[in-house]
Amino acid sequence: MTTLRLPGLADPHVHVRGLGQRHKEDFASCTRAALAGGFTTILAMPNTKPAIVAEPALREYQAEARVEAHCDYGFHLGATEDNAGEVARLAPLSTGLKLYLDPTFGDLKLQKLTALVEHAATFPKHVPILAHAEEHSLASAMLVAHLAGRPIHICHVSRKVEIELVARAKDKGFDVTCEVCPHHLFLDEHGHGLPAGFCEVRPVIGTKEDVRALWQNLDAIDCFATDHAPHTRAEKSSDKPPPGFPGLETALPLFLTAVHEGKLTIADVEARMALNVRRIFSLPVQDDTYIEIDPDEAHVFEAARGESRAGWNPFEGVPLRGRVLRVVLRGKEAYAGGRIVGAPGDGRDVRGGTP
Ligand code: NCD
Ligand code: ZN
């Protein structure tokens, strides 16, 4: 058996849930899933219940995370039509400002272009804004950020036209970065084999052509983000299935499988799942923190034995090569031998958690 040591992974896009949606996931279950997947830092999305769009809600989630988290975490704030001043003030406590420009789970979608323009102008320029921006919204978000002279990070890019636009904007010197999710790289609309409800995700799974274009534009992809978005089996089987896939526990094995198949190198994975994420979101150094992996071990993920409360996974039953053996966080073993060995509360807020 070969053992490789990598830096602790960082995921810029995780729906931790908690508070009003603890039945889907909470900081304990989510950070346990993170560790099992090799992540030592996760950045939490604000489309929660209540949404993280003002200080009182942020404080409530900080309090939950402080006692429950097994790995480090940060909070992205949510933009609304009228909270530009409030989120700019809270920026030092956050890892970014998320703008929802297209419909998805939750009700944070921004309706007016003026809101995008105002947030881009007001949010501190050294903290990224992140956008869920598909199709026309993508062009609009990149242009507005460029005109405001500020960085923008495009979430879960999924289409050919989108990744090509991002690549061209980068060539032209736009301060734009982007992430792509495992489900958009490893599944296509015809081949996913997932039942109705369970295949619902935003952005939707792409065509074969979209998937090919993402792989062809690997150089333009800064991060592999899971967009871990847990919903229960009952919710996914209902008449109104919410969009979202759990992803923290299967992301690294999927990318290691791609390494095994010669589609990626370990350096490609390390850059997109650790180094670039840490740079883009200015994450603090985690001393004496690393993961040990077996890059070759053949296995199949069983969601019933996983840590996420979702209890299902779109990649269940898929033959995988490569897995996490051990995670060390600040010199302390956090995960080993398939078990969480660290304690809730071991995780820290990457921004310190206090004003
Ligand atoms: C996410 C969720 O469930 O919170 N769902 C999804 O399909 N990706 C929301 C989001 O990231 O758009
Ligand atoms: Zn998301």
- Cα 270 to Cα 11, 72, 179, 183, 276: the distances in Å are 12, 18, 14, 19, 9
Torsion, Cα of 133, 195, 198, 201 (10° steps): 0
> Which residues on adjacent β-strands are paired with residue 228?
14, 245
Q: What is the DSSP string of 300-323?
A: E--GGGSSSTT---TTTT-EEEEE
> Which residues on adjacent β-strands are paired with residue 75?
44
Return the residue whose CA atom lies nearest to atom 5 of ligand 1.
244
| pLDDT interval class at 68 (50, 70, 90) | very high
Lowest mean pLDDT segment, chosen from 176-180, 246-250, 350-354:
350-354
Determine the Cα–Cα distance for residues 105 and 97; give it in Å rounded to an integer.
Answer: 17
- Residue 10 CA, ligand 1 centroid: distance in Å: 19
Give the number of the atom of ligand 1 that is nearest the alpha carbon of residue 100.
12
The pLDDT tens digits of the residues spanning 288-345 come to 999 999 999 999 999 999 999 999 999 999 999 999 999 999 999 999 999 999 999 9
- Listed in sequence order, the residues at least 6 apart from 143 whose beta carbon sits closer than 8 Å to its beta carbon are none
pLDDT at position 3 over 60 = yes
Q: What is the DSSP string of 123-158?
A: S-TTS-EEEE--HHHHHHHHHHHHHTT--EEE-S--
What share of the chain in percent tops pLDDT 70?
99
- Residue 309 CA, ligand 2 centroid: distance in Å: 17
- Residue 189 CA, ligand 1 centroid: distance in Å: 18
For 24, phi then psi, to 5°, come to -85, -45
Other beta carbons within 10 Å of 301 = 20
pLDDT at position 355 over 70 = no
pLDDT of amino acid 354 = 65
Mean pLDDT of 93-120: 97
* Amino acid found at 193: G
pLDDT of amino acid 288 = 98
Determine the Cα–Cα distance for residues 258 and 254; give it in Å rounded to an integer.
Answer: 6
Q: What is the mean pLDDT of the chain?
A: 97
Structure tokens given for 17: 């849930």
For 335, phi then psi, to 5°, come to -150, 135
| Domains within the chain, CATH numbers bracketed | 4-340 (3.20.20.140)
- Relative to beta strand 4-7, strand 152-154 is unpaired
pLDDT at position 12 over 90 = yes
Determine the Cα–Cα distance for residues 62 and 68; give it in Å rounded to an integer.
Answer: 10
DSSP, collapsed to helix, strand or coil, labels residue 192 as coil
Torsion, Cα of 25, 27, 30, 34 (10° steps): 170
DSSP letter (8 states) at residue 105: S
Mean pLDDT of 274-278: 98
| pLDDT interval class at 191 (50, 70, 90) | confident
pLDDT of amino acid 1 = 83
Best of 179, 227, 308 to mutate for ligand 1, by most ligand atoms within 8 A of CB?
227
Mean pLDDT of 123-139: 98
Determine the Cα–Cα distance for residues 69 and 3; give it in Å rounded to an integer.
Answer: 27
Place of tokens 């992540």: 39
Mean pLDDT of 149-162: 98
Q: Pocket residues for ligand 1 (CB within 6 Å)?
A: 15, 47, 104-105, 132, 201-202, 227, 229, 242-244
Other beta carbons within 10 Å of 148 = 19
The pLDDT tens digits of the residues spanning 213-249 come to 999 999 999 999 999 999 999 999 999 999 999 999 9
Give the number of the atom of ligand 1 that is nearest the alpha carbon of residue 242.
3
- Cα 152 to Cα 131, 178, 244, 329, 337: the distances in Å are 7, 8, 23, 30, 39
Distance of CA 243 to the CA centre of its chain: 15
Q: Residues for the chain: how many in total?
A: 355
pLDDT of amino acid 130 = 98
- Residue 71 CA, ligand 2 centroid: distance in Å: 19
